[in-house]
Structure 1
């Protein structure tokens, strides 16, 4: 029997079961939707799009799995319901099956009448899944190459209608260079176009294309973000919009600021600019960096990568995930990394790093999920204060020369554990409860540079050591609700945060005069044997600190009109700080309360354009005291911002924002009581952020940024006159990175990338006694992607430019940028 006759026989039999003429008419229309496409597929379009090379239907429980195999990742499909069918359209894709240009299977399971996959004009593939008794329930899981659609029979239009349709996207979708959603700004998964804040996302593809392993390298792609310190090249320290940023968040939880954050389990990096206290408590007003980690997937995925390059660098990583049982109710993921490098500086110490992040996900029912995650990080590397200032510039010595001792060392060991429990009471209401514990031990021992004699080049030093421990316990509970008041839609978020951080430790120094000085132009190392720790008898710090924080907040995203959204929220915090000086037995502490509001408006005059404005505040407890020995009022940040976001195409977006941030209540010296402080100093930062990211043409990606920052102290600040520059903050930053991958022909999969990163000149230290010069760094890459493997060569600082990333403090701790380096990588996924 021919295919056409089979179709007619099946259709006649199925229509005979349908009791109404209206349903028969619907079925006939669905038959038209599901017909194999008679459209001729343009060869050039097919080659430019992701090719679906295989379609498979596999049984799964009472339903099915529709597996679409492709030569690359497929984007999230758009879905609609037509009668008893659920229709999913996949953009920028073409069906190229060995057996023809369409696929269909009749009655593959009870309750599923027909599954068809066909080509549509304009590089689109249509999947139509027709239920016998109503539209089916479908869950979409993204894969590195292809898609998987889980299909369950529908409940029928008479017994559930649209409520029987569940469309969800899980896993690692191919967001390319321009992700559309973010959770950092609102603590809910919100489209960027509906968010009245400036957010830039560095997706996984950018991290891969640039060969990034450090957060400080990743944020070079973000306007107005620069490195600010680094504690001897051992820790991520950043500045956003002119303000030092206190730590990096991971999945919305505050880190403890110790050591470099790991990227092996990071899916993307989200940078929220401007005050974020309404959701995250006491923070600096410039913004936050939030690392979004990889989660367990219900489709098996195994990824291995090996990187090797200049200065003895090697780094293997592993990424394993999938289900642990046939029902796919228990999932796992494991990310691991090992790193070893000599570095370009002349230390005897090597960099040795271990990282492991296992996680489990449990589906406890249709409405409840539980995730457990664990992390372990061990890091040992040189403690490196860097280079020195001479006059208004930086000393002209080789970048490899060190001014400490070759065996100066820093060690960090960290354990983390947490859970996330989510329960849906209904389609409109859910609760989310999550907990995170971080326990960190840090140790360093170095020859600390003191004050250089610029006439002779002699640098006094002091052997000293820090030994500290920190534990952070964080608990977050959120209630999320979606409801209407008349025609106005509300997305309500009510949250309660609890955090306790305990820390303490010592700093010990060798008594003065016992550490040998060094001639920076003719250094001689190991003049004396490094003293044992017991010889560091000058204890300058021995403290135990505790911070308890409680925050309650409410946020409402209000859809007033189809093109008008208001986001308003407020938070009340209580922060209790206690510190004990174990040397003297003295205790000090304060209790701080603060209310931080925010309000933002988004107006969309046409669909691709979003105009937005926001007002936001932040707070930070003040550690200084007045003449009455009372702690000063908290530092407060206030931002006014306006901006525009534009979807130039479906895969290319741009944004422009202008802002003004003022930070008040900064402590400065009390002129009447010089040993105490008064809260009259002020810092102001204003500027613009311009960002562009996405796919210009098939295979051609770009991420670009420009930031202008005018940051200054606008009132006298510890002796600085009004108008003084802020340390490490340039007026201008810019970046441009672009890649192109050949889409067809014998060279398909071959790609090239190039980028430039610019940072303007900066005040080198707090007193602005020297300058950090501007620099322009050029990077390049070549890669080849074929089937499930990828090989790449990344060249960083292609023209071997001498530049300086940041200064820690004073004139003796300037961090040099890495010279020309080459890293090769090979990865495979299966």
Structure 2
């Protein structure tokens, strides 16, 4: 226990370590088209987040908790997926990673793969391991954001901002590998295509082969195999200045990603792993094969000095084959074996989003206004083919042969679709030099076969800036998530249309810039409550219905869920040579329902979490890194009878850069989990991700 709180203290200390006696550093983080090198350039701090207010508004003028994670930091960490990026924000905790996708919770609420993620402000279907090599920064927007984006959860959103075309010539090659034998090759190129620089491009290519550290049981007569992954990524973005005031942007990216399936570890009633840390319960022939394309275009028109019009469209197509062994949890698996239930299925998702935003600045009644008027729309479609094989019992240590099944034998598509649209109005009003007021409202409607849902989502915020480098704020915001209808013949309210689930947040926060703007300290206290949570009540006496199932339950929306807590953060430069990004969160989360969940805590909602990553610039050529991640004790099941111990993981790294014939080269070496700590990551007791042992990686980079 003593060690637990010392780790929390580490994060608190990192957030408060800025001292007035330290050297002052200019804040150059947001200057565009300037290449700055040298030890005083502040790569750790970002001054604005485009997703928080649907525009590049300074974080000091944003009455909301927002954390921006720049690609410079995640490149230092040799991050290969979104989980390794989001570990830099302690308000986000990881969930399961089965089926080659990643699940996260923000402030204790799970982010839905259909409404919890944005790409450049467009809703993205994030049912796969999202590519991070095309991103310039990741923005964590905390608290309800339905006023701007429609249906979304109460914890917040993750907005991924992609790399933009460059004016200057850019050509970078990268390679990294680790002790497991994984490899990743990267190309990042950009520049002006014509002499006038009115047509520019950015191209990214990635080839990744991953060797995971866990192993499958072998087929009879064969050797055990590690889980493997084969991924290709290609991305192209073009910017064209049609006129001095009109910009057309077009982008395309495609991901091909095939990997074996690892549902994760199983825990017994005491929270201990069943089998070894390297035991994969899935069969070695199980896999997922994803193919995802995004094609989009945006138009930005500078109507006048004060007014802008933006339009955008994105078409996302996602196809997946999932050939699954579907192992079934069995606490006695090591002695009595366990069942697999193989099937082959094909999924076809379609996400088409569009928006139009009119923004402007004007003065009215002696007050300055930053007005946003907009609308957005999403069309969602889904279809599935599926064929199942026979169940069988297998013993650990020997895999069952692959069944002869194929989804192509299914001739009937299973379909679902919906569309939603919303209109919104937001105004950031500068009452005077010290006070700002934010007011916004949105109307949404979702249309689907089960019925229509609509909602009104308000948001209010106030900012007090007693001095230029200090902002104190308060906000009130709401979220909503449509719930469809009851679909259970054993339910008294079968076929009844359900109301949306509403979330309400109150937040107080502070943002303080020190070191001449080079270091940003943040703090926030939040209180979020969900209403209309679905609760299924069991009837004391079943109701017999002639010719139908007996009615044994009734569905009502009388449940609540309440999360409250606080966060601290620090990001930027604290001396000429020392840079840091860190955060911590305290969370008190629980259900308020009339069923077995009453008073329980959600899975993967730790009371305490903290992280720190820092860089010390020894010379202009040599930099050292140190990092730590702490996640407190969490529950692994809804009944709160199984817990996962808290853990702390330490990471280290070093980088050296040098020049040859005017070209910059770099080499980096990192050690993750330096002290080889055994820990359990996200997921419940039947699909928990097991933390990897100590792992060494090295990367090479060349800039021409």
Matches of 1:494 and 1:174, distance apart in 2: 37
Confirm whether residue 266 of structure 1 aligns to residue 135 of structure 2. Answer: yes
Matches of 1:516 and 1:770, distance apart in 2: 26
Confirm whether residue 749 of structure 1 aligns to residue 603 of structure 2. Answer: no
Structure 1 counterpart of 2:189: 320
Matches of 2:254 and 2:532, distance apart in 1: 39
Confirm whether residue 687 of structure 1 aligns to residue 565 of structure 2. Answer: yes
Confirm whether residue 806 of structure 1 aligns to residue 682 of structure 2. Answer: yes
Task: Report the secondary structure of 2:80's partner residue.
Answer: coil
Structure 1 counterpart of 2:247: 369
Matches of 1:575 and 1:174, distance apart in 2: 47
Matches of 2:197 and 2:573, distance apart in 1: 34
Structure 2 counterpart of 1:238: 104
Check whether the contact 2:187–2:206 (CA below 8 A) recurs between aligned residues: yes
Matches of 1:144 and 1:313, distance apart in 2: 32
Confirm whether residue 517 of structure 1 aligns to residue 386 of structure 2. Answer: no
Structure 2 counterpart of 1:766: 638
Task: Report the secondary structure of 2:284's partner residue.
Answer: coil
Task: Report the secondary structure of 2:87's partner residue.
Answer: helix
1:765 is displaced (CA, Å) by 2.1
Check whether the contact 1:271–1:290 (CA below 8 A) recurs between aligned residues: yes
Structure 1 counterpart of 2:504: 638
Matches of 1:677 and 1:536, distance apart in 2: 37
Structure 2 counterpart of 1:593: 454
1:392 is displaced (CA, Å) by 2.3
Residue among 201, 214, 231 paired with 1:345: 214
Confirm whether residue 142 of structure 1 aligns to residue 34 of structure 2. Answer: yes
1:454 is displaced (CA, Å) by 2.9
Structure 1 counterpart of 2:692: 818
1:684 is displaced (CA, Å) by 0.7
1:567 is displaced (CA, Å) by 1.2
Confirm whether residue 458 of structure 1 aligns to residue 337 of structure 2. Answer: yes
1:552 is displaced (CA, Å) by 0.3
Structure 1 counterpart of 2:668: 792
Matches of 2:135 and 2:29, distance apart in 1: 20
Check whether the contact 2:182–2:211 (CA below 8 A) recurs between aligned residues: yes
Matches of 1:432 and 1:333, distance apart in 2: 21
> 1:599-748 to 2 correspondence within 5 Å?
599-625=460-486, 627=493, 629-649=495-515, 650-672=517-539, 674-716=552-594, 719-743=595-619, 748=620
1:629 is displaced (CA, Å) by 1.9
With over 3 angstroms needed to count, the CA separation of the structure-2 counterparts of 1:612 and 1:457, relative to structure 1, is: farther
- Unpaired segments of 5 or more residues in structure 1? 1-46, 51-72, 78-139, 147-172, 579-588
Residue among 223, 236, 249 paired with 1:358: 236
Check whether the contact 2:338–2:393 (CA below 8 A) recurs between aligned residues: no
- Tell me: higher relative CO, structure 1 or 2? Use CA pairs within 8 A at least 6 residues apart: 2
Deviations 1:782-805 (A, max 9, x none): 111235222100111111111121
Structure 1 counterpart of 2:3: none
Matches of 1:613 and 1:49, distance apart in 2: 29
> 1:58-73 to 2 correspondence within 5 Å?
none
1:310 is displaced (CA, Å) by 2.0
With over 3 angstroms needed to count, the CA separation of the structure-2 counterparts of 1:276 and 1:310, relative to structure 1, is: same
1:451 is displaced (CA, Å) by 3.4
1:381 is displaced (CA, Å) by 0.9
Deviations 1:22-67 (A, max 9, x none): xxxxxxxxxxxxxxxxxxxxxxxxx9999xxxxxxxxxxxxxxxxx
Deviations 1:361-419 (A, max 9, x none): 10011100000000000001111111111122132533221112122211110111000
Matches of 1:657 and 1:464, distance apart in 2: 47
Check whether the contact 1:449–1:812 (CA below 8 A) recurs between aligned residues: no
Matches of 1:74 and 1:638, distance apart in 2: 37
1:257 is displaced (CA, Å) by 2.1
Task: Report the secondary structure of 1:261's partner residue.
Answer: coil
With over 3 angstroms needed to count, the CA separation of the structure-2 counterparts of 1:292 and 1:517, relative to structure 1, is: same
Structure 1 counterpart of 2:162: 293
1:536 is displaced (CA, Å) by 11
Check whether the contact 2:311–2:356 (CA below 8 A) recurs between aligned residues: yes
Deviations 1:127-160 (A, max 9, x none): xxxxxxxxxxxxx6222549xxxxxxxxxxxxxx
Check whether the contact 2:538–2:552 (CA below 8 A) recurs between aligned residues: yes
Name the Cα RMSD after superposition: 2.2
Residue among 141, 164, 179 paired with 1:310: 179
Task: Report the secondary structure of 1:206's partner residue.
Answer: helix
Structure 1 counterpart of 2:52: 185
Task: Report the secondary structure of 1:818's partner residue.
Answer: coil
Residue among 438, 449, 453 paired with 1:567: 438
Matches of 2:29 and 2:47, distance apart in 1: 12
1:700 is displaced (CA, Å) by 0.8
Structure 2 counterpart of 1:416: 294
Matches of 2:386 and 2:440, distance apart in 1: 42
1:761 is displaced (CA, Å) by 1.3
Confirm whether residue 278 of structure 1 aligns to residue 147 of structure 2. Answer: yes
Structure 2 counterpart of 1:428: 306
Structure 2 counterpart of 1:400: 278
**TM-score of the superposed pair, with normalisation by structure 2:** 0.88
| Structure exhibiting the larger radius of gyration computed from Cα positions | 1
Check whether the contact 2:25–2:573 (CA below 8 A) recurs between aligned residues: no
Matches of 2:30 and 2:585, distance apart in 1: 32
Structure 2 counterpart of 1:556: 427
Deviations 1:734-766 (A, max 9, x none): 1111110123xxxx3111111110111111122
Task: Report the secondary structure of 1:804's partner residue.
Answer: coil
Task: Report the secondary structure of 2:69's partner residue.
Answer: strand
Task: Report the secondary structure of 2:86's partner residue.
Answer: helix
Matches of 2:241 and 2:407, distance apart in 1: 56
Tell me the number of residue pairs that the alignment of Structure 1 and Structure 2 aligns. Answer: 647
Residue among 77, 80, 89 paired with 1:213: 80
Task: Report the secondary structure of 2:102's partner residue.
Answer: coil
Deviations 1:459-514 (A, max 9, x none): 22211233201011111100011100032111100111011010121443323xx4
Check whether the contact 2:45–2:520 (CA below 8 A) recurs between aligned residues: yes
Matches of 2:254 and 2:485, distance apart in 1: 36
Deviations 1:588-635 (A, max 9, x none): x11001000000111011222110000000000013427152221100
Check whether the contact 1:207–1:218 (CA below 8 A) recurs between aligned residues: yes
Structure 1 counterpart of 2:325: 447
Matches of 2:331 and 2:24, distance apart in 1: 64
1:190 is displaced (CA, Å) by 0.7
Residue among 695, 701, 704 paired with 1:827: 701
1:300 is displaced (CA, Å) by 1.0
Matches of 1:658 and 1:533, distance apart in 2: 53
> 1:37-56 to 2 correspondence within 5 Å?
none
